Amino acid sequence: MLPKPEPFVQPDMIFSVTDASQLLKKVVETAFPEIRIRGELSQITHATSGHLYMTIKDANAAINAIIWRGTPVNLKLEEGIEVVITGHFTTYPARSNYQIIISSIEMAGVGAILKMLEERKQKLAAEGLFDASRKKPLPRFPQTIGVVTSPTGAAFQDIQNRLRERFPVHVLLYPATVQGATAAAEVAAGIEYFNRMNNVDVIIVARGGGALEDLLPFSEEVVVRAAAASHIPLISGVGHEPDWMLIDFAADVRAPTPTGAAEMVVPTKISLVQELDNLSHRLTTAFTNRLVNLKRGLSTVNIKSPKQVLMEQSQRLDDIARTMNIIIDKKLQYIHQRIELVSRFPTILENKLLQLNQSVNHMGQMLNSMSYKNVLQRGYAIVRDKNNDIISTISAQPVSIEFADGVIKL
């Protein structure tokens, strides 16, 4: 427990409100010239003046805090994150309250940082920024490589050295700070610059190793979104092998180190020579096998002499001639048959007419034999009325009687 300070104001002293407020202000500022407090941020307010107002709290208490405009802040302030602030206490007499003026602020331990990163990761993953379908393949032989990093850092030198060793290419540097309050914005601006200019084949975002807090700019949303939106293939080479930043999930390829990024983006001269040798060997083998197969095929071909070819063609013509003769003979035979049939047509027609005359005479004889005239000659007569109809009863009035030799009118 902290020791209880001794009172220095006597009971009989009387102060004005202003004097009492000023005295309290001096006591607080003298007693707490600098203090470090750990707690959770809440009620963060960005004033138009540029100052930041907030509350730092734990389960049992809360303290008002202020960050004056211009005070460097190396992390993104969000409600709910646990931090350690450094500052000094003061009072605000106009409202009769006390507050702490913050001079620096940092995340409260690795656990808090990892929790914040995990929550941010889940949020960005839900938006699809880390989907495998967004990943783009790296170019096989890039002509120009864009690097976003500090021009004075070891990462850029490592990349250049490794590229010179493996496969020298043109390198464009976008200088950006890789630590501090402005790092995230500068790195994002570098990615956007190369995409806007479209002057490189691949982008490397690089930084050497460091504490987790130092690498936090590469997990800021502005950097992650810029990497995910890049239409140029992007390699993340931030930190060392165990370090994982959120840009690694949005990048098309994650390299364990800046040097590893350089190794991924270009092949080695030796590997290219070996690959060319392998291709040459494969082509030679394929060509040799092709020649062998052609030779085998030619050996099985029976090449005929010109005389044999002519004889075969002559035989083919003889076959065609015989076939044509057979066809022509059949056609002529058919024509002869048709001509013979036509020549016999008058005889056939005459016989046909004779048969028709005989039929007509026969039918005439039948008609005569069936005529009623023959009946009249046997003594019969036909009685008719005025309409010339035959009368067969006594009820009708007869007007004529026909006999075999004539008609009598009544």
Helices (H), 256-305: 258-265, 269-299
Strongest mean pLDDT among 136-150, 345-359, 360-374, 392-406: 136-150
pLDDT: is 247 or 75 the higher one?
A: 247
Quote the CA–CA distance of 330 and 321 in Å, as a whole number: 14
298 pLDDT tier (thresholds 50, 70, 90): low
271 pLDDT tier (thresholds 50, 70, 90): low
Task: Supply the mean pLDDT for the chain.
Answer: 85
Residue whose structure tokens are 């080479």: 237
In the predicted structure, residue 348 carries a pLDDT above the cut 80: no
- CA 146 remoteness from chain centre: 27
SS3 215: coil
In the predicted structure, residue 108 carries a pLDDT above the cut 90: no
pLDDT at position 274 is 64
| CA separation, residue 57 to residues 43, 44, 79, 103, 108 (Å) | 10, 12, 11, 18, 13
Ramachandran class of 80: left when φ > 0, alpha when ψ lies in -120 to 50, beta otherwise: left
In the predicted structure, residue 1 carries a pLDDT above the cut 60: no
What phi and psi values does residue 215 have, to the nearest 5 degrees?
A: -90, -5
| CA separation, residue 24 to residues 20, 92, 400 (Å) | 6, 10, 173
270 pLDDT tier (thresholds 50, 70, 90): low
- At CA 219, angle to CA 213 and CA 220, rounded to 5? 105
Under a CB-based contact definition with an 8 Å cutoff, are residues 36 and 85 in contact? yes
* pLDDT tens string 19-31: 888 888 888 778 8
Burial (0-12, 13-18, 19+ Cβ within 10 Å), 401: middle
